[in-house]
C-alpha cells in the first residue's frame, strides 16, 4: 500500500494555536503549554486524514455473490469534526445495502465510514456521502445509512445537553421507494437497541 501524502500544514496550525493561546491570555512558554501547538497540529492531521483519502480505494474488494437479501453492518463506531465549531461528534453508523450480484468485503464498509468521517463535516452531509458512494460504486438495489452521534458543540457548550443524540438517515434506491423494504432495513438496524 502506498504511503499517504501528508497534506495538512502542521506548521501553520502550530502558529495558529500559539496565537489562540496568546489571545486567551495564556503564557505559551509555561511548561504545560510548550508542546501544545505541536500536539494540536498532529491531532488535526490525524482527525482530518480522510480529506486526502480516496474512498473508492475501499470499493475494490467486491466479490461475485448471488445474494439478494440485505447486507448490514451495524454499530460502526465513528468520530468526525463539526465544521461549525471544530469540535468532535462521536457516534455509531449503521450501513446496509441490497446487492445485485456483487458484495463488498465487510471491513470495507467500516473503512468507507472512517474515510468520510475523518473530514470537516456536518452529520447530514456525512450520511449522504456514505450512501452515495455505495450506490455509485456497487450499483445495488438500494442503500440505507443511519448515523447516531453526540455533538460536543451541543453537549459541552451552547445549550449544554449531554446525552442527546442526533440521528440522520440517507435512503437510496429501493429503501427510499418501497415502504416494506425501508421498514425491514430500519428494523434490522435497530434490533437490540433501546
Q: Where in the chain is the domain with CATH 3.30.1130.10?
A: 56-190
DSSP 41-81: HHHHHHHTGGGG--GGGGG--EEE----S-EEEEEEEEEEE
User: Does residue 153 have an active-site annotation?
Assistant: yes
Q: Is 84 a catalytic residue?
A: yes
Q: Which of 10, 26, 53, 153 is catalytic?
A: 153
Query: Is 115 a catalytic site residue?
Result: no
Q: What are the pLDDT digits (tens) for 87-129?
A: 999 999 999 999 999 999 999 999 999 999 999 999 999 999 9
Closest CA to 71 of 45, 102, 46: 102
C-beta contacts of 158-165 below 8 A and 24+ residues apart:
165/91
Every domain range in the chain assigned CATH 1.10.286.10: 10-47
Is 85 assigned to a binding site? yes
pLDDT tens-digit series, residues 59-70: 988 999 999 999
Which class is domain 56-190?
A: alpha beta
153 annotated to bind ligand: yes
Name the active-site residue from 82, 115, 129, 141: 82
Residue 115 marked as a ligand binder: no
Kindly report the CATH class assigned to 10-47: mainly alpha
| Sole residue written with cell 469540535 | 87
**Is 118 known to be catalytic?**
no
Q: What is the tens place of the pLDDT at every residue in 131-154?
A: 999 999 999 999 999 999 999 999
Which position among 19, 46, 65, 83 bears the catalytic label?
Answer: 83
- The pLDDT value given to residue 1: 41
| Listed residue (161, 153, 147, 139) closest to 117, CA to CA | 147
Amino acid at each position: 500500500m502506498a504511503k499517504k501524502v501528508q497534506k495538512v500544514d502542521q506548521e501553520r496550525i502550530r502558529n495558529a494555536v500559539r496565537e489562540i493561546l496568546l489571545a486567551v491570555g495564556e503564557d505559551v512558554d509555561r511548561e504545560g503549554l510548550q508542546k501544545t501547538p505541536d500536539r494540536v497540529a498532529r491531532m488535526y492531521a490525524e482527525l482530518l486524514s480522510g480529506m486526502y483519502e480516496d474512498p473508492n480505494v475501499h470499493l475494490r474488494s467486491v466479490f461475485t455473490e448471488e445474494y439478494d437479501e440485505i447486507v448490514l453492518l451495524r454499530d460502526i463506531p465513528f468520530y468526525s469534526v463539526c465544521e461549525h465549531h471544530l469540535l468532535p461528534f462521536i457516534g455509531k453508523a449503521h450501513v446496509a445495502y441490497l446487492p445485485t450480484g456483487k458484495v463488498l468485503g465487510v471491513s470495507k464498509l467500516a473503512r468507507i465510514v472512517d474515510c468520510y468521517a475523518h473530514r470537516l463535516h456536518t452529520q447530514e452531509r456525512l450520511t449522504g456521502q456514505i450512501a452515495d458512494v455505495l450506490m455509485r460504486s456497487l450499483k445495488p438495489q438500494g442503500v440505507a445509512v443511519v448515523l447516531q452521534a453526540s455533538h460536543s458543540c451541543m453537549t459541552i457548550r451552547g445549550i449544554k445537553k449531554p446525552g442527546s443524540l442526533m440521528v440522520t438517515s440517507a435512503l437510496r434506491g429501493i429503501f427510499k421507494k418501497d415502504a416494506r423494504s425501508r421498514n425491514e432495513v430500519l428494523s434490522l438496524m435497530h434490533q437490540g437497541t433501546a
